[in-house]
Structure 1
Amino acid sequence: MCVTMGDISDLDRQIEQLRRCELIKENEVKALCAKAREILVEESNVQRVDSPVTVCGDIHGQFYDLKELFRVGGDVPETNYLFMGDFVDRGFYSVETFLLLLALKVVYYLFCLPYYC
């Protein structure tokens, strides 16, 4: 996967926008989903998790509960989080919740790559 500093900068901006519960543009959502797909199809469905880790149960699209988890538990990447699933389905902010988690997954995966293009 080729990664540029522009990719990281765009993701950082999108994360800040999503943290304010503001939607990102449709073309940005499509690009984010494409990057996430590239990552997720290559990853095993069973992952090694380094400790310490904060395990989180279902958040059901409760965006402000997610923000509270980050406030209490520590922000990413200082705190490792393991979300058990059910990110969305009941909460009013399901899209914002999922996109924020997806963007965090992508940006911190990219930071772990040994090189940038």
Structure 2
Amino acid sequence: MNQQKTFSLFISPSAWSSQAHSSALNFAQSALKANHSIYRVFFYSDATLCANNSTVAPQDELNIPLEWVRLAKEHKIDLVTCISAAIKRGILDETEQNRYAAETHNLSEEFSLSGLGQLVDAIIHSDRVISF
């Protein structure tokens, strides 16, 4: 008997430097098709670049950030970026823009900035955390 599981995903490489994001998206889609759930996707290190709303993918490539947004909207999945990793890479929400007196903010509205506590929360609320 197939028991429903709750998964969270931890992603650290850039969407453009490895197949990690494609693999994670495929895993999430397969898990959801099998009636499992995804609690949270936590973006760390260079993976936080997916949250930049100014990112434009080449026309002949899969738009990884857009695919995360679509999946999150369709299945109500929490997309969290590590705040310290994102800020180091110039990704700011409006609060951080004001804090650092930056010219603009560029965090995609479907993502949230938060600390590693959200990763701990995902570990607690998930049956498994899969790292990509």
Give the structure with the larger helix fraction.
1
TM-score, shorter chain, exceeding 0.5: no
Please report the TM-score for the alignment, with normalisation by the length of structure 2: 0.31
TM-score by length of 1: 0.34
